[in-house]
Chain A
């Protein structure tokens, strides 16, 4: 196993007046790539569970969380929003 260097001699250009916009776009795009990787893994998992007859074809689609589970997910979702969107709270203007 070897970690190949990602450094590019000659660098890459930025296009917006503030290069941070280019950086942010690159980060969001890379994040989208990871988001896709998770979706593909999830799709593989669901397919396998159906193929191995652990789940029925529409079980995940039709599944309803219990009230308690739903409340816990509401709280978890709100926390995720606060955690992610609050990440920039200490940056000075």
Chain B
């Protein structure tokens, strides 16, 4: 495992810190591939047959599967170890972030001196309760960090995500961004976007590929968390990519009506209560130009996957401090866009391999057909496929 981030915000890490990251990354791979395989096999060969033989009904949903496997030895071991691995993801990088705090703040200051992009913070923006009540995915202090945080939560997230992903999310954790921007280019070859937003961008790791794909566009990352945005700004500058970052909420985007060509999100909607998703959809519709495109990279809806896969993905909602995960995945995604003002006929969705891991031919072939869901859709492993959905604003 490469514990380096290969940009100017890279931390100076000791031998033990690097070894711990390697260990936790390997542990994650073991839990999410080896143990996950055992969990599925135990369900198919033992738990489900036992359930059916005692008169139980065929599971129709992820919740049904959850009720069958909950409390079994394999489930308990998998789940307990997965929670521990999740905690260790952050734990394994926090000493390095703490030890490099002064250097990190200094690098942020120097990279902000003559930036190509910009950073606009809103000191009056209080984090809404939904975003601040629990530490999502067991990440201590969440995206916001402690009261005196400057860039530290961004560094914890960047380094932690590198451990979390065990090499499955791209060299610079940007495969989602590359996949979605490339998908957009293939699906809408006639569009030449001039203004692109990435809402809920955190550290901008998936924002940058949009600028790299569309160099003439003005690309802006929006997020609630100031500390992540400062880090995102410095990270983009360190990589010499001109991106702007603004602190704002997804239901109150600081952009004019009909002014944006693309509203993009990645792994954002499942962090929102359904009411807030509705508000975001309406807001995206408001800022998009007629003919503009909303594209959300997300987990697939429960209705599109097998009950076992639904249970597997919703595990995070039950046990990984992701309270809005399942309520979101239970929605009809087309309906979500329609309630935001989009035409139901304009809805689209796609399942795709990871763009930076496959050939251009394979990627193009996969995204031009209809969305095909399988157990790898949205399930983090070395075989993961990304899912995206969206719509086009009517009027052009």
Contacts and interface: CB of A to CB of B under 8 A. Distances in A.
Interface of A: 1-10, 12-16, 21-22, 25-26, 29-30, 32-34, 36-37, 39-41, 44
Contacts, number: 101
B376 to A, nearest CB: 26
Given A12-B321, A41-B15, A1 B23 contact: no
Interface residues of B, number: 43
Contacts of B88: 29-30, 33
A33 B146 contact: no
A3 B135 contact: no
A9 B135 contact: yes
Interface in B138-159: 138-142, 146, 152, 156
Contacts of B98: 1-4
Interface of B: 15-16, 18-20, 22-24, 27, 75-77, 79-81, 83-88, 90-92, 94, 97-99, 101, 133-135, 138-142, 146, 152, 156, 318-319, 321
Contact of B101 (A1, A7, A44): A1
The residue in B76, B134, B156 that gathers the most chain A C-beta atoms within 10 A of its C-beta is: B76
A10 B133 contact: yes
A57 to B, nearest CB: 22
B134 A33 contact: no
Contact of B135 (A10, A26, A29): A10
A39 B18 CA distance: 12
A18 B108 CA distance: 46
A2 B101 contact: yes
A33 B80 contact: no
B15 A40 contact: yes
